[in-house]
Structure 1
């Protein structure tokens, strides 16, 4: 085999990985959106998440003595140096009076990670995981910031004014819509993106470790947060975003009047 063939193969893999990593970072920072949504999910979860997990695992093995002093989302939950033993629920100890009647305890059953946590949609984390969530996941995005500020009323005012509205009023309304979109809708997207990445990382790590024992409440909270961010709350933000885009187009082209 020619000496150049191994080098060509190695550099082909390296360049492919670098390109996939760059594509995943562009998707995370919303600089590029693939036409196929499955490609974006694969780049983020298959390449970026795997790369971050590999780096974290390598750092934990290289610096085992300092892992407890690292602050931030990853250091707060560094994986143990020794492989975790399978999580198996231990059978309850029999009462003294039942020892003779039940000499053989019931067989142990595997612990099933909780799937439906008892966490209200917008009540925040429970007390036992509040400090952990703040240190590990970062600021929690909610719709409170959007709900606290009413939608610009200039669109309805312009529609009520009919043909008496001036072009200057339409331009002012466009600026008001842009400010609302920039401060509140895009602000929500900015907080949600890193928070969602941390949720995915923590869910994968906890599920791989069994998500039992003391980690069960944290795993339940992570699962609930993922469901919240991708459920009705996300539908509300998307609907608001579409409404803003439609009203802005109407005001820029038709003086805020609806299409005939």
Structure 2
């Protein structure tokens, strides 16, 4: 019993530490500890959302996986196996023609959807109603990175502590509004993508559902590809600059 309560208390403390790191209320001395705590919180949040989604859709087959916090590539639907034709009984080959082999069934072709393009016209209404708001990098692209870091580095030793504090606040606002805002929009959208992909794949994803299935697969690839790498790089840059401004007046580490 003591061991169980020890594990529970450790998990609660790790969750609190991760939340403090995410909201910039505490910065560990070792950056690896901060990354570990943040990933633990994000994985726990995704697990809770996915578990709720599975309970809401008990008829879906398979386990739901989410791309948040842990950058996992989407599962590629396996091609259906085609049974080979049975060997014909020994007969007169001149009188009996050889049966042609069965043609393999190919899965739906995934279209090449540009990273920032909207859904195709034939699935636009369905995507909006079923998947919800589509997360993009439009807001991040429309708002440039805070310039106070470069200004502080150019000022060198003449910069004032008040300027460093103001830059930290500017970085916090940018991180909260745009980076964490993107994470917040992506999480429920990614869960819906995985649920719809599993549901349509189990049903065959053919006929009228083929364009929808192709769009869902393309969206999963978009969210976990170069776009996700870009958001992660921006997140790391913000955290590094904030640490430099809070400790060294925005000067880079020696």
TM norm structure 2: 0.63
Moved >6 Å (runs of 4+):
7-108
Asked if residue 51 in structure 1 is aligned to residue 45 in structure 2, the reply is: yes
Judging changes above 3 Å, is the alpha-carbon distance between structure 1 residues 63 and 237 closer, same or farther for their aligned structure 2 residues? closer
Q: How many residues align?
A: 254
Judging changes above 3 Å, is the alpha-carbon distance between structure 1 residues 254 and 44 closer, same or farther for their aligned structure 2 residues? closer
Judging changes above 3 Å, is the alpha-carbon distance between structure 1 residues 177 and 199 closer, same or farther for their aligned structure 2 residues? same
Structure 1 residue runs without a partner (length 5+): 1-6
Secondary structure of the 2:217 match is helix
Distance in 1, matches of 2:45 and 2:86, equals 41
Question: Higher relative contact order by CA 8 Å / sep ≥ 6: 1 or 2?
Answer: 2
- Contact 2:244–2:251 (CA<8 Å) still a contact in 1? yes
- Contact 1:142–1:188 (CA<8 Å) still a contact in 2? yes
Distance in 2, matches of 1:45 and 1:91, equals 51
Structure 2 residue runs without a partner (length 5+): none
Secondary structure of the 1:96 match is coil
What's the offset of the Cα at 1:116?
Answer: 2.6
- Contact 1:158–1:165 (CA<8 Å) still a contact in 2? yes
Q: Which moved more, 1:49-58 or 1:223-232?
A: 49-58
- Contact 1:60–1:81 (CA<8 Å) still a contact in 2? no
Judging changes above 3 Å, is the alpha-carbon distance between structure 1 residues 45 and 185 closer, same or farther for their aligned structure 2 residues? closer
What's the offset of the Cα at 1:119?
Answer: 2.0
Judging changes above 3 Å, is the alpha-carbon distance between structure 1 residues 239 and 25 closer, same or farther for their aligned structure 2 residues? closer
- Contact 2:74–2:221 (CA<8 Å) still a contact in 1? no
- Contact 1:159–1:257 (CA<8 Å) still a contact in 2? yes
What's the offset of the Cα at 1:153?
Answer: 0.1
C-alpha distance after superposition, 1:162-199 (max 9, x if no partner): 10000000000000000000000000000000000000
Q: Which moved more, 1:39-48 or 1:149-158?
A: 39-48
Distance in 1, matches of 2:114 and 2:175, equals 28
Q: Which moved more, 1:87-96 or 1:204-213?
A: 87-96
Match of 2:100 among 97, 106, 112: 106
Q: Which moved more, 1:108-117 or 1:62-71?
A: 62-71
- Contact 2:15–2:40 (CA<8 Å) still a contact in 1? no
What's the offset of the Cα at 1:117?
Answer: 1.7
Asked if residue 94 in structure 1 is aligned to residue 88 in structure 2, the reply is: yes
Distance in 1, matches of 2:159 and 2:68, equals 55
Q: Which moved more, 1:233-242 or 1:22-31?
A: 22-31
C-alpha distance after superposition, 1:51-105 (max 9, x if no partner): 9999999999999999999999999999999999999999999999999999999
Judging changes above 3 Å, is the alpha-carbon distance between structure 1 residues 55 and 179 closer, same or farther for their aligned structure 2 residues? closer
- Contact 1:158–1:257 (CA<8 Å) still a contact in 2? yes
What's the offset of the Cα at 1:114?
Answer: 2.1
What's the offset of the Cα at 1:113?
Answer: 2.7
- Contact 2:15–2:37 (CA<8 Å) still a contact in 1? yes
Judging changes above 3 Å, is the alpha-carbon distance between structure 1 residues 89 and 45 closer, same or farther for their aligned structure 2 residues? farther
Judging changes above 3 Å, is the alpha-carbon distance between structure 1 residues 32 and 160 closer, same or farther for their aligned structure 2 residues? closer
TM norm structure 1: 0.62
